[in-house]
Amino acid sequence: MDFLRPLTWADALAAKAERPEALPLQGGTDVMVEINFDVRRPGALLDLNQIRELADWEPVDGRLRVGSGVPYARLIAELGDRLPGLAQASRTVGSPQIRNRGTVGGNLGAASPAGDTHPPLLAGDAVIEAESAARGVRMIPVLDFYLGVKRNALEPDELIRAFWTAPASGPQYFSKIGTRNAMVIAVCSFALALHPAERRVGTGVGSAAPTPRRATAAEEFLSGELDWEGRGPLSVSLSQRFGELVKEAAAPIDDVRGTADYRRHALSVMARRTLTWAWNDYRTGIPAEEAS
């Protein structure tokens, strides 16, 4: 197996163009497991760890551009206040060791339906910046990024350079069901983002369909029904209906981690809970974590 170690982004793109079969390596927390278990034996590994710019993030014109190599630990520490939903999801990934190495870029590259960052990226309308030596930069809305189980929209010669998303303009929450609190793959997960300026709600459903997906009908229903101006209390019927619509958006399967019925039920509960937390924050201006 060849080990390619470009020092610059341009060299990385050139290497990927020349060897499209080369498997990118960022934190290695997916790649090395697959190699160790002989699930994959790529002809070449393309180590991106020497490319410093991938491990940077910056604000650009009111949005955030986060390099694909920023590890979860730094995302939590440095961007937790601006991207609370993604930071909550990041805190549930693996263990401290995994969060020190693993990245959102790698989660996107792996495109597992159970990946924890997908729901908040969907709820926050993220855009993936992909690039190839031949065609330059391609901005891919996250909604178009997931094509199937562990399949994404990258072309063989493309690499993920960064993802773009706006800093939270309202409350955001992430919820995950697992068999324990840490080191666990999601049975299912859900993210909610309120976008008050646009009177809009964003959602993301994880591990309950072949790809991560939004609950579009639930978003449209809730965006139209919330009392954005008056900030009145949530009615039980409103949150129940929202939960039902989120549940209907899922297309889960029975597998070793849980049954389809359980996943649907859990999603409706997580949808109601995250909505209650987010709406209480919006009404009071105090995040639920601080109020408790």
Q: Kindly list the residues in this chain that would bind ligand FAD in the complex (CB under 6 A).
A: 23-31, 33, 48, 68, 92-94, 98, 101-103, 105-107, 109-110, 115-116, 154, 159-160, 183
Structure tokens that stand for 82 in this block:
């601006």
CB of 58 to ligand FAD, least distance (A): 17
CB of 49 to ligand FAD, least distance (A): 9
CB of 176 to ligand FAD, least distance (A): 8
Give strand ranges (E) for the chain. Answer: 2-4, 23-25, 44-47, 57-60, 63-67, 127-132, 136-141, 146-148, 151-152, 159-165, 172-177, 188-195, 200-206
- Which sign, positive or negative, has the C-alpha torsion 47, 50, 51, 52? positive
CB of 192 to ligand FAD, least distance (A): 18
**CB neighbour list of residue 273: distance below 8 Å, 6 or more residues apart:** 175
Whether 173 and 277 have beta carbons less than 8 Å apart is answered as: yes
How many residues does the structure list for the chain? Answer: 292
CB of 249 to ligand FAD, least distance (A): 20
Whether 210 and 250 have beta carbons less than 8 Å apart is answered as: no
The residue to which tokens 């562990």 are assigned: 150
Closest to ligand FAD by CB, 123 or 238: 123
Closest to ligand FAD by CB, 26 or 211: 26
Closest to ligand FAD by CB, 198 or 255: 255
- Which sign, positive or negative, has the C-alpha torsion 114, 241, 284, 65? positive
CB of 33 to ligand FAD, least distance (A): 5
Closest to ligand FAD by CB, 157 or 219: 157
Closest to ligand FAD by CB, 92 or 239: 92
The DSSP H or E segment spanning 68 is none
Closest to ligand FAD by CB, 36 or 237: 36
